[in-house]
Amino acid sequence: MKLGVSFYTFSQDVDIREACEQSKKAGYDGVELVISENGQLNMKTTEKEMLQLRQMIHDIGLQVCSVGAWNMWEHNLAGDDKGDVEYARDIARKQIDAAAVFGADTVLIVPGWVGTNFAPGIVRYDRAYENSQRSLSLLAPYAAAAHVSMGIENVWNKFLLSPLEFKRFLDEINSPYVGAYFDVGNIIYIGYPDQWIDILGDQYIKKLHFCDCRFEQAGLGMFVDLFEGDVDFEAVMSSVHRIGYDDWVIVEFLPNYRRFPYQSIINARLSLKTLLGF
C-alpha cells in the first residue's frame, strides 16, 4: 500500500513543484494531480509540458497516482445540456490523456449531479442516471485504449446514494476500466464507509480517498482532520484488509488550512502512521 496527497487539498493555482516537495518531505509516496482552468496543469497543457512536469515530480522522488479535475464541478457529466455534457467528457478525456503521460493508472471522475448547493442546475434523478451512464460508457473505450481506469467518486451530488445502486450502476456499464474511487469521509452523511468497501469490493474500488467528516457540523465545516470526525477508521481498515485492497490511500482535505497549508498533510501523515503502522 502506498500513500498519496490529493492536490484537491491545495488551491487551484498551487505551485506543483512546491506542493510535491512538501509532500515528499512529509513522507508521502505520490500525488494526485488535479486539472484546473488556469493552473499549471490545465486543459491546454501540452504533452511536452506534462512530460516536463513528470520528470520534475520523478526527480523529487514521487509518483503520480491519479489525476482529478476541478472543472468537473462546472460541467455536469449527467446533465441535460448536450454542449455542457460534451465539454465534461472532454475534461475526462484530458484527464485520461494526462494520466497516461504521467504514468498513473486511474483518473478521478465526478459522475455528475442531480443537484448540489455549490454547482449549477438540477437534473431529474432518472435522467441523471441515464446521462451519466451514457457518458461513462462512451468514455470507457477511450480509457481502455490508454490503459487508464476511471474511478467514479462518491461525492455530494444527491446521486448514487447506496452501495447497491452504485454497484448496479457500474455493473450496467460493464467495463473493467470503470470502477469506484471511494472516499471514506464523503459517505458519512448517507452511510457507513466500511459497508460500502465490503459491498463494492476490490473488484470495483480503484483508489481510496481518506478524509474525515463530523456529521454534526454543516457544509465544508464538516470536513476535519483525520480522527477528529465520525469515520470509524478501524472499521474501514478491517474492510480494506478483508477485500484485499493494496493500492493507493490518498489523503484529501477540503477546505485546507488557511495558514501554513502544508501542515495539514504533515498532521495527516502522523495519523496514517498511527493507523497503518508505517
What CATH number should be reported for the domain holding residue 120?
3.20.20.150
- Structural domain harbouring 40: 2-276
Q: Structural domain tally of the chain?
A: 1
Of 163, 107, 98, 182, nearest to 140 by C-alpha is 107
- For 207-226, what is the mean pLDDT? 90
Structure confidence by residue, pLDDT tens digits, 170-180:
999 999 999 99
Q: Grid coordinates standing for 226?
A: 483525520
- For 80-98, what is the mean pLDDT? 99
Res. 218: pLDDT tops 90: no
Structure confidence by residue, pLDDT tens digits, 184-211:
999 999 999 999 999 999 999 999 999 9
Res. 256: pLDDT tops 80: no
Taking the chain, what is the end-to-end CA distance rounded to the nearest angstrom? 10
Phi/psi at 3 (5° precision): -115, 130
Q: 55 falls in which pLDDT band (50, 70, 90)?
A: very high
